[in-house]
Structure 1
Amino acid sequence: MTTRRSIMQAAALGAAGLAAGPARAAGRTAPAFEVPAGACDCHVHVFPDPARFPFFAGRTYTPPVATADDLLRLQRDLKLDRVVIVQPSVYGTDNRATLDGIRQLGPQRARGVAVIDASTTPAQLEELHQAGIRGVRVNLETAGVVDPAASAQKLKSAVDQVAARGWHVQTYTRLAIIEALKDQLAQMPVPLVVDHFGGARGERGVDQPGFAALLDLVKSGKAYVKISGAYRSSNAAPDFADVAPLARALIAANPDRIVWGTDWPHPNTSLQKPATEISEPVPIDDGLLFNQLASWAPDAAVRRKILVANPARLYGFA
């Protein structure tokens, strides 16, 4: 989990990098490798004006504004052509902010992942599909769902709702849940996408409990894993070197089942603040974060799979 200490460390190291680091665009380190055409950031959020798109009353944190225009600047700075906007927990099942972000960026650039519940109708699912949604997210971690039986039921409910549409089910959870539900996950009739290294921790290495189960799902083609939000799995800011062995192991297991993402604008759910007070995001240099991919996947052909081919298949980019 990101701690206050690691946030301060990242901020200090990031400030030092501004003075002495590589060339930057808008305060970000520039990409240090050739970014292939059609490259996709597969995990971002947008938080537009809350006067237009109110937050969910039951949220656990309040993020500052981060607009579609801000996201487009990030895309241009990192030389990315595509993006997947993921519905964050602060909106509950009200997907309007996410849909507005997709609309502003347009169908050539943007797709989305929604959050639904049992009351979501087939007609509403069709509307979401037409608006660019290609999957649903089951956020077990922020919701504090750590019981395998409850997790299993939530995932099954999501699968039952979207299986006929050809969408995927994305989950944010921890390795203990993945290990406990490995057989169920391997038999899902829709693609499974696992957020943020499956909750693995960099300092615990590739032998940590549950990581082998995640590797098996990837190796067999039963799950995609987002090597996204590396700072959430790391205590080694600013380059998050401790997650490199995890990333390399996942890529080696099956490069056709790996996608990458920034987790921009890096919402910080760990600050001890009332839910209604703004929690400043984790200070991350997205360009420096992006450049780690060249170390995790030194082969350009493998990087093209991760950045272009796999997202195009999973999210339906032409």
Structure 2
Amino acid sequence: MTTRRSILQATALGAVAASSRARAAVRTVPDLEVPRGACDCHVHVFPDPARFPLFAGRTYTPPVATPADLLQLQRDLHLDRVVIVQPSVYGTDNRATLDGIRELGPQRARGLAVIDAKTTPAQMEELHQGGIRGVRVNLETAGVVDPAASAQKLKAAVEQVQARGWHVQAYTRLSIIEALKDELARMPVPLVVDHFGGARAGRGVSQPGFAALLDLVRSGKAYVKISGAYRSSDAAPDFADAAPLARALIAANPDRILWGTDWPHTNSASGKPATEISEPLPIDDGRLFNQLAKWAPDAATRRRILVDNPARLYGFA
């Protein structure tokens, strides 16, 4: 039912979306050579909330970021493929993510869903047909910092996806990775770790838990996303202190590295009430993309990161 309040909310969301697109229009043009088939492995979409309502239990409210906005990002960065990750603000309602995949098309887009014990086999099939190729287990936003509880959530996800050949992506921290290293190494499905495994750039490669992540990558037991460097670093605008982390992970095993923008740079720590719009973080995607050439100076290595690894994991033809 349309109410005055919902109209005002949609208007406000639209205004913020417009300002977001204006900022995106001045992003730096990448100066690195981008190979054909290059993939951004970590983005979100937040389409019209009148069509895709947000989860009542969310911890923040993002501004609108549509599939059309995402396509413009792809064009600006000279990318051909993308992986849309279900964000926490929708809970297990994956319709917005599926809509984003559908809008961009099967040649360009794949996705990651969020599921729970109530997700039925029929719903899993619908997700698969819609381009979903894995599930995300968000241990950070949910505040799951106990290793035993984390292990249980990951185990439940594995049991649901194993028969489909999907993978499990974990948004977690180094202390959990270190505590569960042996269990993670035995997972019967591919494991993907978000955003440098939660490592802090300023603490360097010797920080507790980073060696465990390196070992999982080196042995081929885990992929890691060198994505959202600004979430690991405070050194804006280039976040150059993330370079040692990225280089160490790439050196460990370039066949297990994925790259992503983390667009549209949601700000769940804005301090605003959950129902008020939190402006996105002001990240220059092109400028951050250029850092990849410093993390991986070799063009063949960058091709593995941008093209070959995503094609293998997400099933791009």
Same fold (TM over 0.5): yes
Q: Which residue of 2 aligns with 1:316?
A: 315
Output the CA distance in 2 between the equivalents of 1:31 and 1:284. 14
- What CA deviation, in whole Å up to 9, does each residue of 1:77-135 have, x standing for no partner? 00000000000000000000000000000000000000000011111111100100000
Query: Which of structure 1's runs of 4+ aligned residues deviate more than 4 A?
Result: none
Output the CA distance in 2 between the equivalents of 1:124 and 1:51. 23
**% of aligned pairs identical?**
86
Output the CA distance in 1 between the equivalents of 2:84 and 2:252. 26
Q: Which residue of 2 aligns with 1:42?
A: 41
> Aligned pair 1:152/2:164, yes or no?
no
Deviation at 1:25, TM superposition (A): 8.2
Q: Which residue of 2 aligns with 1:234?
A: 233
AA partner of residue 255 (structure 1): P
AA partner of residue 199 (structure 1): G
Determine which structure has greater relative contact order: mean sequence separation of CA pairs < 8 Å that are 6+ residues apart, divided by chain length. Answer: 1
AA partner of residue 279 (structure 2): E
Aligned to 1:65, what secondary structure does the other structure show?
coil
Contact 1:25–1:77 (CA under 8 A) maintained in structure 2: no
Output the CA distance in 1 between the equivalents of 2:241 and 2:53. 37
Aligned to 1:281, what secondary structure does the other structure show?
coil
Output the CA distance in 1 between the equivalents of 2:77 and 2:272. 32
- What CA deviation, in whole Å up to 9, does each residue of 1:141-171 have, x standing for no partner? 0110000000000000000000000000001
Deviation at 1:235, TM superposition (A): 1.1
Aligned to 2:137, what secondary structure does the other structure show?
strand
CA RMSD of aligned residues (A): 0.9
Q: Which runs of 5+ in 1 are unaligned?
A: 1-23
Q: Which residue of 2 aligns with 1:307?
A: 306
Deviation at 1:26, TM superposition (A): 2.2
How many positions carry a matched residue from both structures?
295
Aligned to 1:75, what secondary structure does the other structure show?
helix
Output the CA distance in 1 between the equivalents of 2:291 and 2:189. 30
Q: Report the TM-score, using the length of structure 1 for normalisation.
A: 0.92
Q: Which residue of 2 aligns with 1:211?
A: 210
Q: Which runs of 5+ in 2 are unaligned?
A: 1-22
Aligned to 1:29, what secondary structure does the other structure show?
coil
Deviation at 1:271, TM superposition (A): 1.1
Contact 1:87–1:114 (CA under 8 A) maintained in structure 2: yes
Contact 1:62–1:278 (CA under 8 A) maintained in structure 2: yes
> Aligned pair 1:279/2:312, yes or no?
no
Contact 1:113–1:137 (CA under 8 A) maintained in structure 2: yes
Q: Report the TM-score, using the length of structure 2 for normalisation.
A: 0.92
Residues 87-106 of structure 1: matches in 2 within 5 Å? 87-106=86-105
Output the CA distance in 1 between the equivalents of 2:126 and 2:25. 36
> Aligned pair 1:59/2:58, yes or no?
yes
AA partner of residue 270 (structure 2): L
Deviation at 1:273, TM superposition (A): 1.0
Q: Which residue of 2 aligns with 1:161?
A: 160
